[in-house]
Chains A and B, each alone.
Chain A
Amino acid sequence: MIVPTMADMMAQGKQPEVLFWVGAAGSYDDRAKKISRAFVKILHQANVDFAVLGTEESSTGDAAKRAGNEFLFQMQAMMNIEVLNGYEVKKIVTCDPHSFNTLKNEYPSLGGKYEVFHHTQFIQNLISEGRLNIDDTSLKGKRVTFHDPCYLGRANEVYESPRALIKRLGVNLTEMKRNKSTALCCGAGGAQMFKDAEKGDKEINVLRTEDALETKPNIIATGCPYCNTMMTDGIKFKEKEAEVEVKDIAELIAEANKL
């Protein structure tokens, strides 16, 4: 798979149209790596001139910030901003709503001002510019429910672009009783991904999976690698792996377009 880096681009004296911010999950987590690859396939199909930072990318600091470590966050932010500004990056796209939120909202006041897109927004733009089509026949008839990631939905009020893409897949989109601004967290936000939950009587991801299962889905669509992990774990907990898949919207599009 061809994934050009900013360093390569610079060596050739080129400036790509957009930087793909892969994020730590998208780089290292086995499940999330598949999302990164699916998205790159889409970028290639649409002939998008893109690049990644590769080994020059570092954690955005989001998890450190939500855990309360403002020092570590700002150190990460300033290092990343130095790299991004060094490459004169203007446009960023990412599959991770946490990176999306941090880069879009928290970097500007530290000197990093970019136009930041979630991959669902970016793909939607590609479609409206006529650069990409989605095959609406291969997934036809599937029941799909979408889990809103908190950092995409409530945090940044992006509710429509993931839904618009799902509808283009020609599938049957159903809503959970808690959706959009009232959606329930998957349980991973605020650095919870990296620690055990406090004492309680249920895990949050199990409760959210129950919300999803009520819609009797074939596929639970996500737009966040952390939500994806949490919902996948929830499906395993409920022993529904045979009937229900958890897929990122980028994966669904890549699959529909047979990429």
Chain B
Amino acid sequence: MQYLPNILFALVLILGIGFFVMNIRKLSRNIKLGKDVNRTDKKPERLKNMIKIALGQSKMVKRPLSGFLHIVVYVGFIIINIEVLEIIIDGLFGSHRIFSGVLGDTFYGFLIGFFEVLAALVFIAVVVFWLRRNISNIKRFLSKEMKGWPKNDGNIILYFEMVLMTLFLVMNATDIHFQEAGIGNPISQFIAPFFDGFSPESVHTIERSAWWIHILGILAFLNYLYYSKHLHILLAFPNTYFANLNPKGQFTNLESVTNEVKLMMDPDADPYAAPPEGEEEAVPEKFGASDVTDLNWVQLLNAYTCTECGRCTSSCPANLTGKELSPRKIMMDTRDRLEEVGRNIDANKGTFVDDGKQLLNDYISPEELWACTSCNACVEECPVNIDPLSIIMDMRRYLVMEESAAPQELNMMMTNIENNGAPWQYNQQDRLNWANEE
């Protein structure tokens, strides 16, 4: 019977991590539904980006207050993981504070003391985050797309963090031996007196409960990630690594179009030529994107990485002037639709069965897409290098090349380019008139 807690602990750990791994595999399957794009070049530059932007948070601090608070929570979370390692070892082997013996009282005390301070700072930062989200009228948290689940999700994450930090401090405060040793309890020593009237047994019970709920909470939080915008704590790293390294103004030249255009412009090409013997007539490729499977895997990874902070939307000129477009909504819609496609595949034994829906129209309207000025403000703003503009452009391409559904004025502009070599209706022969007009 004395091994029961250890067995129980191992079981919980296996279950918690197992379920997480299962969801991560689903995540990776969903991302691979996207088209291939080569992002394995320039490895040193990619690594540098990842270290600077994801690990170094260089783009977060462009907005100083939220940037600073974010760094507190981020550093706290990473460093406190050392404590989690101790909990796991203790849980599996029935030891108690195993690192104190290994590291020696002074260093261990310093470490735990440091964690306590961090935990308190994280708690304060998270409370400020909660106030910003719920009390102060910050426009980007009040947008239409933030109603319902996105808002609740944001708050749940904050509550989780508050509870986890509290449990960590309570766990230390009720550890009588630890308090008596007087090492590394700069915060918990002020919580300890609260339990003064309690019997030693109940203090011990509280300590054990806090310990258990803390580790169970961490496992629950781990598994919450997949269902939440909080997934960015993991995906920010691959996302910054695989981000586009070309100049922001450089849009892809669709290769499928290049082939068609070359054929059109080749005077020797026979438009009625049958495909060569033995070669199946290829299915014409779809131009642009109307659903998530037409996007590339980096765009889908972007969608899962988005943490809905809304910095993109708050810098979008179209959004700032009251238009329907919100780059954040583009990313959220893409993720929602991708999740829907994933569930469809799961329900139909691994194949997608047409559900009569797609990303275009069912999630994203043409009005949103046409409001974009392609100014790249959203791309510049994103703290983890998400590119909403590339999705907008791919969907515009579908609207124009597959559906001929551009706004009338754009059709006129394009006709002019085709006929006169300029977006306006002027004669190409007048192109040099400006030189003689003074």
Contact = CB atoms under 8 A, between A and B. Distances in A.
A201 B249 CA distance: 28
Nearest to A24: B422
B421 A58 contact: yes
Interface in B370-415: 370-377, 379-381, 393, 396-401, 406-407, 409-410, 412-414
Given A27-B434, A69-B400, A70-B254, A197 B323 contact: yes
A63 B412 CA distance: 12
Interface stretch (B181-189, B227-235, B255-263, B332-340): B255-263
A46 interface: no
A177 to B, nearest CB: 12
B370 A198 contact: yes
A57 B247 CA distance: 25
Interface string A1-16: 1010100000000000
Contacts of B190: none
Nearest to A208: B317
B383 to A, nearest CB: 14
A155 B246 CA distance: 10
Contacts of B410: 67, 191, 194-195
Interface string A69-101: 111101110110000000000000000000001
B320 A184 contact: yes
Interface stretch (B68-76, B112-120, B160-168, B424-432): B424-432
Interface stretch (A105-113, A160-168, A215-223): A105-113
B254 to A, nearest CB: 5
A190 B264 CA distance: 26
A68 B397 contact: yes
Nearest to B256: A70
B261 to A, nearest CB: 4
A199 interface: yes
Given A55-B431, A71-B260, A194-B423, A207 B321 contact: yes
B371 to A, nearest CB: 4
A129 interface: no
A27 B426 CA distance: 10
Contacts of A3: 432, 435
B375 A185 contact: yes
B434 A182 contact: no
B257 A57 contact: no
B376 A110 contact: no
Nearest to B320: A207
B287 to A, nearest CB: 7
Contact of B372 (A28, A106, A190): A190
B199 interface: no
Contact of B249 (A1, A74, A155): A155
Nearest to B376: A154
A131 B357 CA distance: 62
Contacts of B379: 154
B414 A72 contact: yes
Contacts of A191: 374, 410, 413
Given A27-B431, A185-B373, A195-B410, A59 B422 contact: yes
Contact of A26 (B288, B322, B372, B434): B434
Interface of A: 1, 3, 5, 22, 24, 26-29, 33, 36-37, 40, 52, 54-55, 57-59, 61, 63-72, 74-76, 78-79, 101, 104-106, 109-110, 150-151, 154-157, 181-182, 184-185, 187-204, 207-208
17 contacts: A1-B435, A27-B426, A27-B432, A28-B430, A37-B437, A55-B431, A63-B413, A70-B254, A70-B401, A76-B421, A154-B380, A155-B250, A156-B249, A194-B409, A194-B410, A199-B324, A200-B323
